[in-house]
Amino acid sequence: MAFFQPLLNHESVQELAKQDNLTTVPHQYVQDHREPTFVPNDTSPLPSIPVIDMNDLIMEGSNMDLQLKHLHSLVNHGVDESLVDQMKNEVVRFFEAPIEEKLRYKLKGGEYEGYGQTILHAQGQKIDWADRFFMITNPIHRRKPNLLPDFPPSLRITLEKYMGEVQKLGMSLLGLIGRSLDIEKEEMMKIFEDGMQSVRMTYYPPCPQPDLVVGLTPHSDAAGITILLQLNNVQGLQVNKDGLWIPVTFLPHAFVVNVGDILQHRAVVNASKERLSLAMFFNPKLEADVGPSKSLLTKTGKLPLYKTLVMEQYLKQFFSRKLNGKTFLHKMKINNQDHASSSN
Ligand SMILES: O=C(O)CCC(=O)C(=O)O
Ligand SMILES: [Fe+2]
C-alpha cells in the first residue's frame, strides 16, 4: 500500500489548502529564505502609508503637490461604492466556482495570461501560496478570446463597468502625476491614453504555516500605476522600505495606488483567513517610448539618466528578467560608459 501523500496540486493552491489534514506546507511552497515582517515597537512605530483624498487633488487651483512616488491609499476616489461591492462579489464567486470551471482558463506553458502561476522549475523557483488570474484587457484587440470575452456574463459585465470607472480614475491620476512632475499633459496622454492595461485577480488561501511561504513573491509592477482593490478586511500587502517589510494597513473604501517599477512589494498570507485582491495595471501604449520625459529633457537641458525603450520591448525584457529583488528600473540606468560611448 502506498503511503499517504498529500495532494500536490500545482493547478490550484486553493484546492490544496482545502484538505482537512493539511498541517504542513509541501516543500515546493516553502521559501528558502523569507525576510521577516517588520514588527513595530515603542521606539519604531509602524510607518504610515500616506492617504490621498481625491477631492483635494481635483480642486481647481488647489496647491497640491502630488508626491505620488511610492504607495498611497486613495479615498473619495469617485468610483461608485455599490459597483465596487458588486465587483468584489464577482471575484469571490469566481474563485468559489468549481476548479473545473477555473481550469477552462488555465494558462498554458510559456504564457502569462490566464488562471495559474508561471513557475520556473528550472530555476528552482518556489510556488507562491496563491491562485491568480492575469490578463491583458486593453487595447481591446489584445484580449484573448478564451479569457474575458468567455467569462460568465455577470462577471464580464461587472468587470467591464469597473474597469471603465477605474480607467477614468487612473487617467486623471496619471494626468496629475504628470502635472506635479512638470511633464506636458499631451506627452502624458500620448503615452497612456488607450494604453496597455491588465488586471490580476488573486486568491490567497489560509495557510497552516504562513511564515514559511509568500503569497506573492517580492516584485515591482511593470510600469505606470497600479490601482489595487483589497477585497476583504484581511491584511497581507507589504512594501519594502529601507530593507524592511512594512505591512500596509487595510483602509476600508480605499484603493491602494502604487507607482510602477519603483516600489518593491510582496503579499503574505494568514493562518486562518483567506485574502483576495484585484489589481488593475496602467501601462503606456505598446508603441510608446518608455524613458525620461522628452519635454522635461528639453526644458531642463539635462542628460537622460535612464535608457529609453519601446514599451513592447520594455515588457518583454521586464517579464524575462529573473525576480531577484532588484527593480527593473535599476537595469534601465545609464552608466557613465554608456554616455561616453554613445555618439548621438
Ligand atoms: O494582493 C495584493 O495585495 C498585491 C497584489 C499585487 O501586488 C499584484 O497583483 O501585482
Ligand atoms: Fe504588484
Q: Whose CA is nearest to atom 1 of ligand 1?
A: 277
Name the residue of 95, 225, 227, 228 to mutate for ligand 1: max ligand atoms within 8 A of Cβ: 228
Q: Which ligand is nearest to the CA of 216?
A: 1
C-alpha cell at 226: 497600479
The answer to whether position 9 is within a domain reads yes
Q: Which residues contact 281 (CB under 8 A, 6 or more apart)?
A: 197, 198, 199, 200, 221, 222, 224, 225, 226
Contact 89, 99 (CB under 8 A): no
Ligand 1 atom with the shortest distance to the CA of 277: 1
For residue 131, the model assigns a pLDDT of 95
The answer to whether position 298 is within a domain reads no
Q: Which domain holds residue 85?
A: 5-288
The answer to whether position 339 is within a domain reads no
- CATH number of the CATH domain containing 81: 2.60.120.330
The answer to whether position 303 is within a domain reads no
The answer to whether position 92 is within a domain reads yes
Q: Which ligand is nearest to the CA of 269?
A: 1
- Number of structural domains the chain divides into: 1
CA of 340 to the centre of ligand 2 (A): 36
The answer to whether position 314 is within a domain reads no
The answer to whether position 134 is within a domain reads yes
Backbone angles phi, psi at 256, to 5 degrees: -100, 130
Name the residue of 113, 197, 202 to mutate for ligand 1: max ligand atoms within 8 A of Cβ: 202
For residue 5, the model assigns a pLDDT of 38
The answer to whether position 11 is within a domain reads yes
- ipTM for the predicted complex comes to 0.98
CA of 23 to the centre of ligand 1 (A): 26
The series of mean pLDDT values per 10 residues for the chain, 344 residues long, is 42 90 92 92 87 76 54 89 97 96 89 83 80 95 96 98 96 86 87 94 97 92 89 92 89 88 87 97 92 90 92 82 66 69 42
Q: Which residues line ligand 1 (CB under 6 A)?
A: 200, 202, 216, 221, 228, 230, 236-237, 265, 267, 277, 279
For residue 343, the model assigns a pLDDT of 39
For residue 220, the model assigns a pLDDT of 84
| Sheet strands side by side (includes 114-115) | 51-53, 71-75, 255-259, 225-230, 275-282, 197-204, 131-138, 114-115
**Measured CA distances, 261 to 208, 249, 290, 295, 296 (Å):** 32, 22, 12, 21, 20
For residue 68, the model assigns a pLDDT of 56
Contact 311, 287 (CB under 8 A): yes
